[in-house]
């Protein structure tokens, strides 16, 4: 399983909106400049997120986009599934019931099931708020970056 460019950009777009929509809606043009992503591509992504109910479109001269809910209410998994569909590592795990004809004899099935659980555990328990917090901890004012010391947990 590989997260698509659309999925990665959707996360960046949602984080950008969350960090910049305090006073007024965020314009796609401004996100495109900050994130260095084409406006056309962001418009495709924002359309998916709008259909999923994750963002609200505000019309007019001061229009743009706002999150429909708080950053803590969106998981990475929700956003990636809106853009990429299933996050299963293999096709036989995409649905609730595994209908693969080799299901009973598959020597690697347990591996794929464990990987699927691990992926879901991470993406479904990491929120936009977490991403924002991690960013604020590692990026210093003025552009400097600090690497968190793993020994200080």
Q: Give the tens place of pLDDT for each residue, 19-39.
A: 998 788 999 999 999 999 999
At residue 138, the pLDDT reads 74
Whether residue 73 is contained in a domain is answered as: yes
Q: What angle do CA 97, 102, 104 make, to 5 degrees?
A: 75
CA 5, distance to chain mean position in Å, is 11
CATH of the domain at 105: 1.10.10.10
Q: How far apart are the first and last CA of the chain?
A: 30
Q: 38 lies in which domain range?
A: 5-143
Burial string for 76-98 (b: 16+ CB within 10 Å, else e) reads bbbbbbbbbeebbbbebbeeeeb
pLDDT in tens, 70-110: 999 999 999 999 999 999 999 889 888 888 888 888 999 99
Overall domain count for the chain: 1
Specify if 153 maps to a domain: no
Residue 150: which pLDDT band, with cuts at 50, 70 and 90? very low
Task: Evaluate whether 43 touches 33 at the Cβ level (below 8 Å).
Answer: no
Answer yes or no: is 148 within a domain. Answer: no
pLDDT above 50 for 152: no
Residue 123 located in a structural domain: yes
Average pLDDT over residues 118-135: 95
For residue 150, tell me if it sits in a domain: no
Please say whether the dihedral angle defined by the alpha carbons of residues 31, 36, 127 and 8, taken in this order, is positive or negative: positive
pLDDT band, very low/low/confident/very high, at 10 (cuts 50, 70, 90) = very high
Residue 84: half-sphere exposure toward Cβ, Cα within 13 Å: 22
Q: What percent of the chain lies above the pLDDT cut of 70?
A: 90
Question: Is 49 in contact with 26 (CB distance < 8 Å)?
Answer: no
What DSSP state is assigned to residue 4? -
pLDDT band per the 50, 70, 90 thresholds, residue 140:
low
Task: Please give the pLDDT value at position 143.
Answer: 55
Is 11 part of any domain? yes
């Amino acid at each position: 399983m590989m997260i698509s460019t659309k999925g990665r950009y959707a996360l960046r777009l949602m984080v950008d909106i969350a960090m910049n929509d305090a006073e007024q809606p965020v314009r796609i043009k401004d996100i495109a400049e900050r994130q260095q992503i084409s406006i056309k591509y962001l418009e495709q992504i924002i359309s998916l997120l709008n259909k999923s109910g994750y963002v609200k479109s505000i019309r007019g001269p001061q229009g743009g986009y706002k999150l429909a809910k708080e950053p803590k209410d969106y998981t990475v998994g929700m956003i990636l599934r809106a853009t990429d569909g299933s996050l299963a590592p293999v096709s036989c795990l995409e649905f609730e019931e595994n209908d693969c004809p080799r299901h009973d004899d598959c020597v690697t099935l347990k591996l794929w099931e464990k990987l699927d659980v691990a992926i879901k555990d991470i993406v479904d328990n990491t929120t936009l708020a977490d991403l924002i917090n991690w960013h604020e901890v590692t990026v210093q004012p003025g552009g400097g970056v600090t690497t968190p010391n793993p020994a200080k947990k």
